[in-house]
Structures are given as C-alpha cells and as structure tokens.
Amino acid sequence: MDQWNGQQRAFAIKMFYKNNDSLEVAQREFHVCFNLGRHGQVPSKHVIKTWIKNSEETGSALKKKPTGRPRGARTPQNIEGVLVSILRSPRRSVRKLAAAVRLSRKCVRRILHVDLKFHPYNLQIVQEQKEKDHQLRLEFCQQSTTNIMEDNEFLNKLRMSDEAHFHLTGYVNKQNYLMFMGPCIIFIVE
C-alpha cells in the first residue's frame, strides 16, 4: 500500500515546478501544507523525482504498470493440472509435483495453499495412550504437587527437556534427553 495519496503527490509536483524545480522547497511546502508536525515524514527527494518522471511520461503520478510479460502462472488450467496430479499421486513431493506440471516450486506451493486450500501435514509421534494412563497421570501430578509443597527446593532440582521421541516399539530418541533426571516431566493441572 502506498503511503502517499494522489492529492499529496499532485501537491508535491506542483510545488516542485512552482519553486523553480527545487526539491527542498517542495518538501518544505509539503510539510507545511499537510501540517505534519515537527517530526512528520515528508516524501524523499527520490520519491518526488519518481512522481515527476511518472507524471511527465504517463500523465499520472501513480506507479507505472510493469512492462513485460504478465504474471500468469496461477491460471485455471495450471490449477486444474496441479489438482489432477496431486489426486493421482498424493504422496508426491512438491519438488516432483512441480517438475511434473512444469511450474516452479514456489508457484506450485502457492496454488496448493491459496487456490486448493491444501496444507502440509507434519507427522507427530506421540506415546500410545491406554485407559489406565489417565489415573496414573493424575496420581503423578498429585505426587508432584505434594513434593513441591513439602520441599521448597524441589523445582530447582528438576531438569526438564521437551524433546524426546518415544516409539511404540520401546525405542527412545535420546538426542535432547537429559540423562540425569530421566524423561520429560509434564505437569497437568485439571
């Protein structure tokens, strides 16, 4: 979004020509006319020059429309092609999908996210919850609360980590697993 509206741009251009092509005077007049206060921001000299150049070339101080090929990668045909390809091979990576439909990865990601409302799915590995676990967790919380009430230094003695991966096969990824206190400790207040 542009900071300066059309009226402000036209005023700056007018002041530039009125004051013998002086950018400094145009800035000063802009500051006074629009009552910007002591530290109010006025358009820079470069910005005013750009407005003047645009007005001389196009008759408007607004931004020129970009030249060159129009951007058109998200056409209905490309969106349909991505949809067909993703439905045919839903496990295909974005890189391979982009190669299959002959579009850039960035464009394919934008089509998936904006047009098709598809979002990446991140697999999260969690422990299996059994029926007896709720009661055990409640007892653990009650015991921990008792320990905290009895020993003022109990929390200072704890070392916690939030990154340990537990698998159903019994394997534990100990990459960020603190060995001296054991696995993650989670307090659940109900």
38-46 average pLDDT score: 87
Query: What's the rounded Cα separation, in Å, for the pair 38 and 62?
Result: 27
Task: Give me the percent of the chain exceeding a pLDDT of 90.
Answer: 18
∠ Cα 49 51 52 (to 5°): 65
Per-residue pLDDT band at 183 (split at 50, 70, 90): very low
Mind listing the pLDDT tens digit for each residue in 49-103? 998 988 888 888 777 777 777 767 888 999 999 999 988 988 888 999 999 999 9
Which residues are CB-neighbours of 70 under 8 A, at least 6 positions away?
A: none
Give the whole-angstrom CA distance, residue 55 versus residue 67: 17
Q: CB–CB of 116/83 below 8 Å?
A: yes
Per DSSP, the three-state class of 106 is helix
Average pLDDT over residues 119-124: 69
